[in-house]
Structure 1
Amino acid sequence: MQALKSEIRDGMRIDWDMPIQMDDGLILRADIFRPIHEGKFPTLLTYGPYGKGLSFQEGYKTAWEIMEKENPDVMRGTTNKYQNWEVVDPEKWVPNEYVCIRVDSRGAGRSPGFMANNNARETKDIAQCIEWAASQEWSNTKVGMNGISYFASNQWRAAAVQPPHLAAICVWEGWNDGYRESHRHGGIACTFRKNWMEMQVKTVQHGVGDRGKRNPITGDTVCGPETLSPEELIQNIENVWQKVLDQEMLTDWYVERTADLNKVTVPVLSSANWGGQGLHGRGNFEGYVRSASNQKWLEVHGGSHWAPFYTDYGIDIQKRFFDHFLKGIDNGWDKTPPISLLVRSPGEKFVQRDEHEWPLARTQWTSCFLNAGSMQLENAVPGSNSELSYEMMGDGVTFSLPVQAEEVELTGPMALKLFISSSTVDADIFAIVRVFDENNKELTFHGALDPHTPIAQGWLRASHRKLDPSKSLPYRPWHSHDEKQPLVAGEVYELDVEIWPTCIVVPKGYRIALTIRGKDYEYDGEAAVLSNMKNPMTGCGPFMHDDETDRPPAIFGGEVKILTGPNYPSNLLIPVIPKKQST
């Protein structure tokens, strides 16, 4: 049994490696940061696989350096010694009389066991950790969950099982649909999960022990205390990527890793990133709209995936939310408008605006019809039928609206209806909404991870075109992914492609365009690199779809024909937002 270490340092009482026993007897390990003085305090709990003892600065070096340079407010008011990837800095919360708990998930860091990320056992573990925290002598019995990405996505599932003492969740850039948002976009396997396991998870698996990092404060092994053989490590972790490759269609494995949003009833703050294409963005919007809570808020920002959470802006929002629901402070949060958008303009400029529903009720849903003859997007169905072809592994084809005669705002989800035929039994559609300036230079933004992200993206495998009519909306088609429907070469098929929500104010003189291709978007410029990501980032960050096992060239290297006109009204539905009338 590991000995519990408890000490007072930097104005906090810290309990290192606190044991929390699960119902199957397994002991999870947690670090607990709490006020020194006696009292009853609310708790912020996180549970995840990244090693609670691995410092942000060492584990995610380039991300830390970028944040340090671009967001100096993150560094103020803290020694930064306790910074950990994607979880709160306790030095900014404990002085406000919060307890911060970091639990190494089953099989990760200093917690033993078999690691199967996001499964039902993990959700049960989280619920039991919540109830354990609520029962401690220093607890006021109210537990909240707060964190980014993994530490956000598991909040949806934890809330759905309704542990009695979970009082509120702040889901900061967190997916909830294990199939559509995480592993298979439109049915196409996303290789992020393969690289993520190798770069971010296996490196901090329990049992790496002496071969891994050490906690810079305690000196203990991050992934200890035992050191297991490579063979033992393999036996202790689920092969996620093989599961994805083996299961193209929606199975119980994906459903187990998907939150039942109808059972999420606690107060919710869902914080999305306009640049969260490929993992988190959709989850925050869907989670806000479809969760059953009658106390829920949506906040949407831009910038990097990690930094806004730690900034004064982010922490102020989080503290007002949790002060209200975990401390019962009457701070006016209950009168906060349900939606806060940082409306995006060129030059990484953002203007905050309150709204009251999503999508916005005043949206002017506008159909832009593709014309394969002129390569234009037009405001009416073209008068005659036309068609054009592209090689799936090429750069695809681009349709453009005329140059904007006046400024226009696009905010919301989009949908693309396409009529296609393929030279093979399938086709992968990559739909990219783009904007070009007066000099025909593409406008990109700093996405959640990639600094050159396009305006919006959507994906669909043609054999997954079947829709669920009970869930589909005109602006958000919902594919059932329960029946593979191969194509007959040369025959025409109607596809509805979901394009994840976005926001852009397009200036006068700029041009909106749609590119359709059979492979991932590529930015025409220098690739970016993050130390914790395997592939250089060329516009899609780590969210690529380039595995030949899932996309054999014999099938997905063929030719696609797009058909337009009266018989084939291919069109892009965009959310035009009229200016608010002054009162």
Structure 2
Amino acid sequence: MEYPLRPPRSTPESRGAVPLNPRQERLRGMIIDRDVVVTTRAGRTVVLDVYRPENEAPAPAVIAWSPYGKHNPAPIGVIYPESGVRPDDIGELTTFEAPDPDYWVPFGYSIVIADIPGTWNATGPASFISPEEAEDYYDLIEWAGTQPWSNGKVGLSGVSYLTVSQWRVAELNPPHLAAINPWEGWSDTYREVARHGGIPETSFWPYIWERWGASRGPIEDLELETAEHPWFDDFWQSKASVMERITVPAWVVGSWSDQGLHSRGTLEGFRRLSSSQKWLDIHGRKKWGEYYLPANVERQRQFFDRFLKGEENGWEDRPPVLYEVRERYYVGETFGAESWPLPDTAYTPYFLGADGTMSTEAPRDEDAVEYDGRGSGLRSHRAEFEVRFTERTEIVGHAWAELQVSAPDAEDMDLFVGLFKKTADGEVVGFPYYAQFEDGPVAVGWLRVSHRELDPERSHPFLPVLAHQRALPMEKDGPTSVTIEILPSGTVFEAGESLVFVIQGRDIMDYPPAVYARHHETANRGRHLIHVGGAHASRLVLPVIGA
């Protein structure tokens, strides 16, 4: 696909890199080949650092494909102090979101850290999450699988972009690719990052494309493309993964806590994979902290030992799905299951009432709850509905809301929804959110009402998926019916505890000046009405386990 290009706004030198200097070093039992240049079939280059065992015995390669700079070990705990990464969990060679060579090489692995084409000292032009980039990655995998120091098996590792790129290249099924470990990564750039529910994301997305863009040559102009493609078209399809093409063994790790970035795409990635050997772990904690947690690094090695070294180590004895049910911040219990979504899920409707309660029975009389669509955060600027559980209730999986809404003073409206947990004493329980925060909601969702049309091919009974193909005007003679996807979550509510459903006209959480999923360009003005009861009943549908 032809992508528009622009000059980079930062150079390698301005971001702490130096010109190419190919060399070999020896350190702590490792041979380190610096600034190795691999040319792809398209004539672009990838620039690598390869960390391999000093005894030069053939070793499987684990690749981290990154736009963040292999030259610059980036202590996540310094960049993001609340990331949950402990200083002792990573070594001085650890680059941003990539595996630590000091851990892996002594166990007989070669670690390949790659600067993607067009970034840093690699020649391009650079394109991001594109089919062309995936082909370059394919060529690197085949290069790594045929080197004298390789045993012919290649695995992929890393968080975020380093996972998004795993999805893309695994679609192509390179012959030497033997296993992937996607750890928190979106799979649909439009729906999961750039346009939540059709509402433009104005914080993380503009920030991250600048972080990717250190280069000596032209790079893809993601800013222009985002402005020129407001609907899901061929451009955005080129930035979405086709999971059904992936057949390689995969251990997928996702979370309830990275909503608005990776939670949805990671779980959808697992569900749609065609791999006959696939496993899923879902936690409720911070993604970077969990990736580098020593116990989880041991699990990563067990997985790769099985599929890159052929060791019979009992990996396949674990359940296909392990999921955490959260009680509160960093407190929860892990369970096993045979599939995702969980097979014993009862999708249970809770009808909204004008008195701010929710019930499994719909109110008989029609009414409406009104709030100010400007959404300043005041209680008058949101609608709240609460259900108090009379027995222990586990909510695990995909939720959604079916609402009847109107905006008398506007032509369109943006809806921001959230689920919260309250103790029996009325205290709001906070959870990890967006990898940094500790007082987040149970789950969130978004919708621009003009984008409400569902895609019948992508949607499932448990997952409404928006088509994003055209603008639909709001109804003139009555409420407009909308369905809002609420991102997957896993939380337990004891008897006496409550779930609160919030609807408002601005982002559910407000953490200035931090970078996270935010939406400043809303269509809102004037009053918003949520219609309830009678012929215009609104409801929240929750995934109740073992009901």
Instruction: Return the TM-score normalized by structure 2.
Output: 0.91
* Corresponding residue of 2:14: none
Per-residue CA distance 1:33-58 (angstroms, 9 max, x = gap):
0001132211111112101111213x
Alpha-carbon RMSD: 1.9
Unaligned segments of structure 1, at least 5 residues = 208-232, 528-534
What's the CA shift for 1:352? 2.1
- Which residues in structure 2 correspond to 1:184-583 (within 5 Å)? 184-191=195-202, 192-198=204-210, 200-202=211-213, 205-207=214-216, 236-371=218-353, 373-394=354-375, 395=377, 396-423=381-408, 424-447=410-433, 448-489=435-476, 491-522=478-509, 527=511, 536-537=513-514, 542-546=516-520, 548=521, 551=522, 555-578=523-546
Write out per-residue CA displacement over residues 375-400 of structure 1, whole angstroms, 9 at most, x where no aligned residue.
Answer: 21111111111112222222443333
> How much has 1:324 moved relative to structure 2?
0.8
Distance in 2 separating the partners of 1:104 and 1:2: 12
Conserved in 1, the CA contact under 8 Å of 2:326 and 2:492? yes
Which of the numbers 61, 64, 74 marks the counterpart of 2:89? 74
1:36-55 to 2 correspondence within 5 Å?
36-55=54-73
Q: Displacement of 1:73 after TM fit?
A: 5.5
Once the 2 structures are TM-superposed, how far is the Cα of residue 295 of structure 1 from its aligned partner? 0.9
Of 166, 169, 182, which aligns to 1:158? 169
For 2:182, what is the secondary structure of its paired residue?
Answer: strand
Partner amino acid for 1:461? R
Deviation at residue 119 of structure 1 after TM alignment:
1.5
Identity score, percent:
32
SS where residue 534 of structure 2 aligns?
coil
- State whether residues 83 and 436 of structure 2, in contact with CA within 8 Å, keep that contact through their aligned partners in structure 1: no
Q: Deviations over 1:488-517 (max 9, x none)?
A: 556421111111110111233321110011
Paired residues of 1:425 and 1:487 also in contact (CA < 8 A): yes
Question: 2 CA distance for matches of 1:62 and 1:28?
Answer: 26
Give the match for residue 6 of structure 2: none
Mapped contact 1:142–1:167 kept (Cα < 8 A): yes
Paired residues of 1:153 and 1:176 also in contact (CA < 8 A): yes
Alignment partner of 2:113 out of 102, 108, 113 = 102
For residue 56 of structure 1, the aligned residue among 74, 81, 89 is 74
Instruction: Output the CA distance in 2 between the equivalents of 1:401 and 1:334.
Output: 42
Matched position secondary structure for 2:264: helix
How far apart are 1:92 and its partner, in Å?
A: 0.8
Separation of aligned partners in 1, 2:22 and 2:223: 36
Structure 2 unaligned residues grouped into runs of 5+: 1-18
1:351-386 CA distance string (max 9 Å, x none): 221111111111122100011x21211111111111
Deviations 1:514-561 (A, max 9, x none): 0011110135xxx4xxxxxxx524xxx611111x3xx3xxx4223222
Q: 1:66 to 1:382 in 2, by over 3 A?
A: closer
- For normalisation by structure 1, the TM-score amounts to 0.86
Helix, strand or coil: the match of 2:415?
strand
**1:13 equivalent in alignment to 2:13:** no
Q: Note the C-alpha offset of 1:238.
A: 2.4
Q: Secondary structure at the match of 1:431?
A: strand
CA distance in 1 between partners of 2:491 and 2:223 (Å): 35
CA distance in 2, matches of 1:245, 1:490: 33
1:132 corresponding residue in structure 2: 143
> Is contact 1:377–1:399 with CA below 8 Å preserved after alignment?
no
Shift of 1:2: 4.3
Is the 2:345–2:543 contact (alpha carbons within 8 Å) kept by the matching residues of 1?
Answer: yes
Q: Distance in 1 between matches of 2:35 and 2:332?
A: 42
Deviation at 1:112, TM superposition (A): 2.6
Determine if contact 2:406/2:530 at 8 Å carries over to the other structure.
yes
| Deviation by residue 1:176-224 (Cα, 9 ceiling, x = unmatched) | 11211121111111121102233x334xx123xxxxxxxxxxxxxxxxx
**Would you say how many aligned residue pairs link Structure 1 and Structure 2?**
522
Between the aligned partners of 1:138 and 1:74, the Cα distance in structure 2 is: 28
